A and B are shown apart, each in its own frame.
Chain A
Amino acid sequence: MDMLKKFSGSSLFLPVVALSVLLIFNTLFVDGFLTIQMTEDGHLYGRLVDILNRSCSLIILALGMTFVIATSGIDISVGAVVAISAAVVCTLIGGRGDGVAEMPMSVAMLAAVGVGVLCGMWNGLLVAKFKIQAVVATLILMTAGRGVAQLMTEGQIITVYYKPFEYIAGFLPNMPLPTNIFIALAMVLLVAVLMKKTSIGLFVQSVGINPTAARYAGINVTMVIFLVYAFSGLCAGVSGLIESSLIRAADANNAGLNMEMDAILAVALGGTLLSGGKFYVGGSVIGAITIQTLTTTMYALGVSADQLPVVKAAAVIIICLIQSKKAQEMFDKWKASRHSQQKNDNKAVFGKAVKQL
C-alpha cells in the first residue's frame, strides 16, 4: 500500500498509467497485438516493435523539448526543423534513379544534423540574446522553416533510391531491431549520463525556476538557454534523418507535421511542468511512447491523420488542467466540501481523465 502511494505520487505515475491503459485496450481489442515474430532474416516483427520503431523520432524530439521546457521556454519550430533536415539529407544524397548517391551518406547526414543545430542556435540566439519570447521566436522558424525546406527541394518530393539510406530507420543486416531504436537509445543514454555525471541538469532547472537567482548564483543563463535550444535543434535534425529514412523521401509539406504538438504533449505527460523548473527525462521518453501508442491506436480505430489533432488537443488541455496549481486548489476546495464522497469522486474524475487520454 505504501509503495502504491509512493508510486502514485511520483512523476512517472501519469505516463505509466496512460501507457498501460492504452496497452490493455489494444491487447483486448486488436488481434495479435502482443505477438512478436522473428522473420527469416533475423528481424523482429510485430505491432509492439512497430510502435517502438515509430516512436523513436518522437522520443528524440521530446528529449530536446524537455530541456527547452525546463528553462520555461518552448520550441514550436521542431516540426519545421525536421522538414529542413529531411530536405537537406535527401537533396544531398539526391534522387537519382540508379541508386547512386551524389554525396557520401555520412556527409549528407552530418550536414542535415548540422543544419538542425544551426536552426536551434538561431532560436537560441533570439531567445537568449535578444530576449524574445520563446513562442514568437520559434514561431518564425515554424512557418518560415517549411518555406526554406520547400525551396531546397524546389517544391518536389525527393525520393531517395540509394539503398543504405533505408538503414537509418530500417534494419541493418543481421540486427533484430531497426537502427533508429538504437539511435534513440544512444541519445537517451547520452542524456542520462550527462544528467548523472555533470551538473547541467541542475543548471537548466535553476534557470527554469528563477533566471535572476540563477544568474546571481553564477550560472551563465544566456549560455544555458542558448545551448538548450541548440540541443533541441540537434534532436530535431536527428529526427529529420529518421523521418525521411522511414519514407525514403523528403516531403517539405508533411515531414514532421504536427510533431511539435506531440513533443510538447510527451513532455507534459511525462510530468514536466510547462511553466519550467523540475523536469523528468524518463517521463518524457515514456510520454513519447504513450503518444505513439495513442496515435497507432487511433489509426487502428479508423481515425485519419488530419482528424487526430482533435484527440491530442483535448489531451493537452486535460494535462494542463491536471498540472495547473489553480485547478488543484479548486479541486482541493471542492474535495473538502464533499468530504464524504471523496474517494468515489476521486476515482471517477481520474477515470474520466484516463478515458479521454
Chain B
Amino acid sequence: MKDIAIVAYQQSDSVSDAGAVNEVELIMPVLARTFEQAGLNSAQDVDFVCSGSCDYLQGAAFAFVSGVDALGAVPPIKESHVEMDAAWALYESMLKIRMGHADSALIYGFGKSSPGDLPTVLSQQLDPYYLAPLWVDSISLAALQARLMLDKGLITERDMAEVVSRSRRNAMNNPHAQLSGDISVEDVLAEETFLSPLRKADCSPISDGASAMIIATVDQAKAWGLPYVVISGIDHCIETHNLGMRDLTDSVSTRMAANHAGMNAGKVDVAELYAPFSHQELILTRALGLDKETQVNPSGGVLAGNLMMASGLSRIGEVFNRIVKGEAQRGIAHATSGPCLQHNLVTVLEKGENA
C-alpha cells in the first residue's frame, strides 16, 4: 500500500464577515498560495481534486459547483465534492490514491456563513420529522449537552472557561485567528450567560474563509522534492441521529476512529481538536485519553475562528505545520460534523523525510 503525505497547506484569515467577497474569491487566493507552496502551477498538475462545502450556507442547490470556477477546470480535471467538511474530502482523496487512481490530490474547503443565521441553518441538518420542524439551533443543542456534563459533575464552568482562556491566548500566535487575546478565566466567568449554561465565549465565532491542502504519495512528494508529513492513519465514525440515544457526555465515535487510525501506536505531541464549544474540547480530550504530554489546540482551535466546511481540514493542516516546523514529531487532528459531536474523523500524522 502506498504511503500518502501532505506537502502543502494554506488557509485564509478567519473573518466574521467577508462582505462582498464571494466564495470563489475566498478560495482563489488560498489555492494560489497552496500551488506556490507545492511548486505547482494549477489544478492541472494534480491527479484529483476534492472539495468540501455546504449548499445550505449559500442557500442554493448545487451552489458548490461555482467553487470549481476557482480551479480553472479547462482542460477537464477529475473532480469531486463532499457536502461535508473538507476533512472528509481528504478522506475521499486518500481512497482515490489508495485505489491507484491518482498519485496526488488537491483538497479545499470553504464556507461563507455570514449571510445567514448559521445556528438556524444548522437546525435543518437535523431529523426532518422530529427536530428540524422545531428549528432547534446548534447552540441550544450544545447547551443541553453542556448542562448534562455540569449536572453530572463531569466538568465545571471554570473548566470550560479555562478552555476558552487557553484557546484565546494560543490564538495570539495564529495570524489567521478571528478571536484572540490575553483573557483570563475570571474574565470569561464574569461574562453573563448567553444560552445558559453557555456563555458567548464558550461558543466558536461565526466565520467566513477557506483552506486548501495538497497530498501525494510519498514517492510523488519525494519526486517533487518537498518536505512532507505522512498521514499514517485516518478513520471516521458516526453515532445515531437520535440525541436521546447517545451518551452526550462522551464521544464514543471519536475514540473508535482514533483507535482505528492507530493513534495509540506512539506518542502524541500535538492534537488539534474540532470543538465548536468549550465543553466539547473536554469531552474530546477525555474520549481520546490525552494527557499533559500532548499540546491541545496550539492554534487556538475553532474557538478562535470556525470556518464551516474548512475548519476540519484546517485542524489537519495545523498539525502538518507544527511537524514541518519541527515543533512536533507526531500528532493527531480531529474533525467533527453534526450536532453535539455526532460524526468524528481522526487523522494521525507523522514526520516524513525533510520535514
Say whether A associates with B: no
